[in-house]
Every structure is written in C-alpha cells, then in structure tokens.
Amino acid sequence: MIRLNRVSKRFHEAGVDRSILNDVSLTFAKGEFVVLLGKSGSGKSTLLNLIAGIDTPSAGEVFIDGKSLTRMSDHERTLFRRTHIGFVFQSFNLIPTLSVLENVCLPLELDMRNRGANGKAIEQRAKDLLTQVGVAHRIHAFPDRLSGGEQQRVAIARALINDPMVVLADEPTGNLDADTGKLVLDLIDTLTRKAGKNLVMVTHSEEVVGVADRVLRLRNGQLI
Ligand SMILES: Nc1ncnc2c1ncn2[C@@H]1O[C@H](COP(=O)(O)OP(=O)(O)O)[C@@H](O)[C@H]1O
Ligand SMILES: [Mg+2]
C-alpha cells in the first residue's frame, strides 16, 4: 500500500546541504499500523510529508497503492492526496475562517470526483463523522472557540471525509493534555486501524506503541 524506494531528502539552508533521510526503503502492507519513533529533528515529519505527497524526495520514489507520487505533477499529486490520504497534524491546522462543518466538508468539496455532487450529501457525511468523533454539537462554531481536544476531533473528521485508505498522524496528541490525548488516540484507533486503514503515526504513547504492527525508529537518516 505504501512503498518507499531508496528515498533521500536533503534540505538546503543558509548555504549548507543537510541530509535528513538517507536511502530509506520500506513497504507497508494494506491495513498495517506502523508507529514511527525518533528524536526531535530526526526526520519523522519529513518522512510523513513525503508519504503524504506534501513534500517530494531529493532522490528515490514514493508509491501509494501502486502509483508513483514522485512521477506526478504537483497538481496530480494534490488531487491524489485529497482522495487517498488523510493527515492529522500536531497543531490541528483547521482553517480559522471556516466553521467546524465547513472545515470538514472542504476536502470533499475540493475533490474532483464530487463535482456536481449533492451539497446536502456532503454535509450529511460531515455531520455523521462529527457525530462519531463527538463534536456534533459544535458544527457551527469556529475553531478558535473550541478546546484543543475538540479541534483535534474535528481534524480527525476532516482527515476521514474522503474515506482515505492511508491515514498519517504526526504527534496528534502533542498539544493535548494526557486525558484528552488518550480519548483522541482511542478515536483514531477506532476510525482508522480498526476500520482496516493504513495508519502511520508519530507518537511516544507507550500504549499506542504496544498495539502497533510494527515500530520503526529513525536515526541518522535511516530506519531501524
Ligand atoms: N523545509 C525545511 N527546510 C530546511 N530544513 C528543514 C525543513 N523541514 C525540516 N527541516 C529540518 O530537517 C530536520 C528534520 O525535521 P523534522 O522532519 O521536522 O523532524 P522531526 O519531525 O523528527 O522532529 C530538522 O533539522 C529540520 O530543521
Ligand atoms: Mg515532527
């Protein structure tokens, strides 16, 4: 489902070339749940961004469901990402000028497949998801009125609106207190791993590490 073939990533900054990922190859089977560990700055977010097609490798190739993200144009990759990948960020990344409901509907409304689709049907799917994550009572609120936990629940609903097979979560509880974090992790578990989706998560939660199919650690640009 996810395949990286000899992927490297270098950043050029202030005249210096820094190698962050170095010839990384990996394959995740369909439905596999992988936890990614590593010190701060080891390249975890960089790796997730490459899998998501948010960023492109300096060398090597990324495949999702047999298709090469690397060979797509930026536009093709954006469309592909919208339909195949859900992303949950540490800092929620909701759009502040849109209501909760609008935030969740947006990826589906942007999705080409749904051009001409019934706006009411999109809204209903968003409402169903918001009910599942427990924020149905806040659909008309704006993100800055919500607690961190509520914002992350909304972000989970947004990540799932296109029913992606691959969900990437980058320290999804990093900005939440322990109890709220646990609820958010349970939700992600129920709606992704238990639903048979591929889940790749950066987290230091020992509980999550305990239920992962595989735990990978990034060190010196390589996976251990
Ligand atoms: N766009 C960028 N430009 C330059 N350096 C970057 C960029 N993105 C990340 N880096 C650097 O790459 C390294 C790895 O970053 P990151 O993937 O965010 O690590 P982690 O998520 O494991 O903490 C860091 O040293 C970071 O400063
Ligand atoms: Mg990171």
Domain boundaries, the chain: 2-223
Question: For 8-32, what is the mean pLDDT?
Answer: 94
- Shortest-distance atom of ligand 1 to CA 171: 21
What pLDDT is stored for residue 116 in this prediction?
Answer: 64
What pLDDT is stored for residue 77 in this prediction?
Answer: 95
Backbone angles phi, psi at 218, to 5 degrees: -95, 130
What pLDDT is stored for residue 53 in this prediction?
Answer: 95
User: Where residue 111 falls among pLDDT bands split at 50, 70, 90?
Assistant: confident
% of the chain surpassing 90 pLDDT = 85
What pLDDT is stored for residue 114 in this prediction?
Answer: 58
Contact 9, 57 (CB under 8 A): yes
Q: Tell me, in angstroms, the distance from the centre of ligand 1 to residue 133's CA.
A: 31
What pLDDT is stored for residue 137 in this prediction?
Answer: 96
- For 39-81, how does the pLDDT look when each residue is reduced to its tens digit (9 = 90+)? 999 999 999 999 999 999 999 999 999 999 999 999 999 999 9
Question: For 95-116, what is the mean pLDDT?
Answer: 84
Task: Identify which of 45, 54, 203 to mutate to test ligand 1's pocket (most ligand atoms within 8 A of the CB).
Answer: 45
Neighbours of ion ligand 2 (CB under 5 A): 44-45
CATH number belonging to domain 2-223: 3.40.50.300
Confirm or reject: Cβ of 53 under 6 Å from ligand 1: no
Higher pLDDT among residues 1 and 112, named by residue: 1
Q: Tell me, in angstroms, the distance from the centre of ligand 1 to residue 46's CA.
A: 6
The ligand that comes nearest to the alpha carbon of residue 55 is: 1
* pLDDT > 60? residue 146: yes
Residues 47, 202: Cα–Cα separation, whole Å:
10
- Shortest-distance atom of ligand 1 to CA 12: 4
The ligand that comes nearest to the alpha carbon of residue 41 is: 1
- Shortest-distance atom of ligand 1 to CA 48: 17
Confirm or reject: Cβ of 43 under 6 Å from ligand 1: yes
- Shortest-distance atom of ligand 1 to CA 13: 4
Ligand 1 atom 6: residue of nearest CA: 11
What pLDDT is stored for residue 13 in this prediction?
Answer: 87
3-state helix, strand, coil in the chain (%, to 5): 40, 25, 35
* pLDDT > 60? residue 112: no
Alpha helices in the chain (DSSP H): 44-52, 74-84, 100-110, 119-132, 148-160, 178-188, 206-211
Q: Tell me, in angstroms, the distance from the centre of ligand 1 to residue 43's CA.
A: 6
Other C-beta atoms closer than 10 Å to the C-beta of 192 total 27
Question: For 160-189, what is the mean pLDDT?
Answer: 95
Question: For 9-34, what is the mean pLDDT?
Answer: 94
What pLDDT is stored for residue 135 in this prediction?
Answer: 96
Question: For 145-155, what is the mean pLDDT?
Answer: 97
159-178 in b/e burial notation, b at 16+ Cβ within 10 A? bbbbebbbbbbbbbbebbee
- Shortest-distance atom of ligand 1 to CA 218: 22
